[in-house]
Amino acid sequence: MQTHETLTSMEPEQPQFFELARQQRAHRRFRDDEVSEQLIEQLLDAAVRAPSAENRQPWEFIVVRSPERRAAIGTLMRRAWDGGAQQWSATRLSPALLADVESGIRGGIAEAPVLIVVAVDLQRGMEATLGSSIYPAIQNLLLAATAMGLGSALTTIATSFHAELAELLATPPHLRLVAVIPIGWPGVALGPSRREPVASRMHHETYGNHWSIGGQ
């Protein structure tokens, strides 16, 4: 008969994923060192392992390396920022985070050696499930970048000018551009992500029955 101690000893060791999840941060400053095509392919292979509604896999990824095209995307970001996003964010972000975001939009993000523009194919998924299909893929991409020592960030501000971004990338009408992910070697080292304790967001059975240590 197997005892509790025996069963415990048979449990597999926790994978490095949990530490990886704690280390994933938004990077907005990058070195100009090249990121190889092989690494980009590995990132995107991780992205497409994500689940999607009905397994329709509606994602498309446009890898942008051209300095001119990256600069053009950066211009769209600055236009959106100066057109109202900065004013809106100033009331919601701490001064330090606002300064970091502004620095990224003013140049740090577009200066990443690679921008991955993420799109969803409206012909390969229902409107209601596109978000639940594409954002798990983006999260896989961000975690894979962290695992490789690369910096990355989820940005959406350039998609405010969807028509211009679509023209720049020559995308067909059935693709919706949802994010721009800068990829590069980090310009500064960032520590673990800062989050509220998980217990402060956990509830027993019903909302308001707050979690305590040990789940009691």
pLDDT at residue number 8: 47
Collapsed DSSP state (helix, strand, coil) of residue 92: coil
- Prediction pTM value: 0.85
Tokens matching residue 110: 């577009």
Collapsed DSSP state (helix, strand, coil) of residue 64: strand
pLDDT at residue number 152: 94
pLDDT at residue number 161: 96
Q: What is d(CA 178, CA 88) in angstroms, rounded to the nearest whole number?
A: 20
DSSP state string for 170-205 = T--TTEEEEEEEEEE-BSS---SPP---GGGG-BSS
Taking the chain (216 residues) in consecutive chunks of 10 residues, what is each chunk's mean pLDDT?
48 69 88 94 97 93 97 93 87 88 86 96 89 94 94 95 97 96 90 81 87 63
pLDDT at residue number 214: 60
Residue 56 near residue 130 (C-beta atoms within 8 A): no
pLDDT at residue number 134: 95
